Amino acid sequence: MVVRSPLTDDELDRLFRALADATRRDIVTRLLAGEPASVSTLAARYDMSFAAVQKHVAMLEEAGLVSKESRGRERIVRSNPERIAQARALLFKLEQIWISRFSQLDDVLADPKPPTRK
Amino acid sequence: MVVRSPLTDDELDRLFRALADATRRDIVTRLLAGEPASVSTLAARYDMSFAAVQKHVAMLEEAGLVSKESRGRERIVRSNPERIAQARALLFKLEQIWISRFSQLDDVLADPKPPTRK
DNA sequence: AGAACGTACAACCATGTGGTTGTATATATG
DNA sequence: CATATATACAACCACATGGTTGTACGTTCT
């Protein structure tokens, strides 16, 4: 099994920021539901320029939510479900922190430290 | 049981954007782990001005992740774990979309529609 | 070779973000 | 009443975002 090292603050920033846009969420959804697709195939779906969609895909790639592979003149974009799972894992951890307040098992999770500034 | 209407695109944008900052994630974590706290109590934790922390709390409030209550001259901030659950629910749904590709149960989830532009 | 296609990238613009300082206002305390 | 505390909010700054158009370059097709 692959070791899932916890994401850094910067990686989490990029991940949640990437998810904070409806077009990008839709791209991820389509890639999860269907086949990998070229950037222009994706772009055809949306009411904006090719360059705009290309920038969205670039942000998704920086966030680790998708990866690109060269195929002739096309770049095939595929989703990376692992990153979704990692984002969900953080939210689950937050919920557990809250839930643990009502049980005696308060030592389930480490105490948080304030983030260091960039 | 409370009816959880699905969040709109705008609400999801604000929710994920609010989570896309380490200071805000830390504020949420502390509020989930401990007692509700005044804005200045929260601000004391961080290496930035009171006004900066206040703006972070305002963004968390807009995202529905925390709520504020007047108590004398203080504003007591408390976390809203429900919103965390709603964010996690979306990510879970995305994972299910992917997983359903490998089963015959592809009708678990509705087909996505491209988001309408603002 | 030449044209069309797919992509990348730069420049630009309007707006938002993350921080600052300063000022105003309500509440508590001497 | 006077002063300190807690908050809110405006103005400002540097930089990021989300969009545009234009240009360049590799790949595919005639």
Kindly provide the ipTM of the predicted complex, given to two decimals: 0.89
Instruction: Tell me the per-residue pLDDT of A55-89, one tens digit each, with 9 for 90 and over.
Output: 999 999 999 999 999 999 999 999 999 999 999 99
Amino acid at A36: P
Q: Do B45 and A112 touch (CB under 8 A)?
A: no
Contact (CB<8Å) B22/A16: no
Q: Specify the fold of B9-106.
A: Arc Repressor Mutant, subunit A (1.10.10)
Count of beta carbons in the 10 Å neighbourhood of residue B35: 10
* CB hemisphere CA count around A45 (13 angstroms): 20
Predicted confidence (pLDDT) per residue in A88-98, tens digit? 999 999 999 99
Mutate to test the interface with A, among B19, B45, B80 (most CBs of A within 10 A): B19
Query: How do the domains of chain B map onto residue ranges?
Result: 9-106
Contacts of A70 (CB under 8 A, 6+ apart): A76
What residue spans of chain B are helical by DSSP H? 9-19, 22-33, 39-43, 50-62, 81-99
Architecture of domain A9-80: Orthogonal Bundle (1.10)
